Amino acid sequence: MCKGDKNREIIRIVLNKRYDIQYASIDNQNAIKYLEKLGDLYRLTDNFPIEYDLEDYNVTIDEVNITGNMYYVITAVLRHPKCKNCRKALTDAVTGLYNRNYWEKIISGATLHPRTQNFSLILIDVDNLKEINDTYGHTAGDKVIEIVGQAIKKCIRKEDAGLRYGGDEFIILLFNQDKKAAYRVIERIRREINKLAAGQGMNIQISAGAAYYDCLRNMGDIIKMADRDLYKEKRVKNLKKNRTVKN
């Protein structure tokens, strides 16, 4: 990682609706100076979250409900534009998506995507990667992973997060989106994969599951719920496949 003052890599400021500082990860004097740089941006919109760059920071402003009261949460993450190794450490080389290192940062809270009160999580894995590897070789298998990554990037919004968790497993976080929206995204990804795969003369099959996060659940529960949803789809596919074989 880059050298520097790690305490300044992430700034978090929480304001109440009167714009009084309720919490700051830096001292109040510097927090006030930082808010002056932000200006009145968060006062002029109801369309949250807001994301933009300010000096050397990526800034996200969101509204959250804490014990029945609404607050603004400002998260600023220091960018390291000259540190190629920092970017590489968080990026999957095959797909260009985030990697498992980035997922660990999400779990710990040290990420460009602050925890919001609601988001949907999608799990995806490739059903027939082993078959493709065995038939065409691992170069073709890498192409499959690349195609799935391309489809994910094309079908999610800029504010969402797509990750290659490992092997043929992918995670997508859709911020401020419910489970129905997640299923629509899954279908878009399937169509995009089919289109890209057809152009390569390939047949790529995926299974996917989704779960919805709210403040009453933890990340471990959400992963388990999405995993159960994914394997429910796999079971249905296997039943259909077995019936076809028997017939």
Any idea what the CATH number is for the domain that residue 233 is in? 3.30.70.270
Tell whether the model's pLDDT for residue 225 goes beyond 50: yes
66, two tokens: 């804490």
pLDDT digits (tens, 9 = 90+) for 152-177: 999 998 878 899 998 999 999 998 88
The verdict on pTM exceeding 0.75 is no
Tell whether the model's pLDDT for residue 105 goes beyond 70: yes
Name the range with the highest mean pLDDT among 16-20, 33-37, 59-63, 128-132: 128-132
Tell whether the model's pLDDT for residue 146 goes beyond 90: yes
pLDDT digits (tens, 9 = 90+) for 85-100: 555 677 898 999 989 8
Identify the domain boundary among 20, 54, 78: 78
Tell whether the model's pLDDT for residue 52 goes beyond 80: no
Do the domain assignments include residue 84?
A: no
Active site residue 168: yes
Identify the domain boundary among 78, 109, 132: 78
Do the domain assignments include residue 65?
A: yes
Same structural domain, 46 and 136: no
**Catalytic hit among 20, 168, 214, 227:** 168
Q: Name residues whose C-beta falls within 8 Å of residue 121's C-beta, 6 or more positions apart in sequence.
A: 171, 172, 173, 174, 182, 210, 211, 212, 213, 222, 223, 226
Looking at the structure of the chain, the number of domains it has is 2
pLDDT on residue 216: 61
Mean pLDDT in residue range 175-204: 94
Strands 69-78 and 57-66: antiparallel
Same structural domain, 233 and 128: yes
Any idea what the CATH number is for the domain that residue 63 is in? 3.30.450.30
Nearest to 218 by CA among 113, 111, 107, 73: 107
pLDDT digits (tens, 9 = 90+) for 201-211: 899 999 999 99
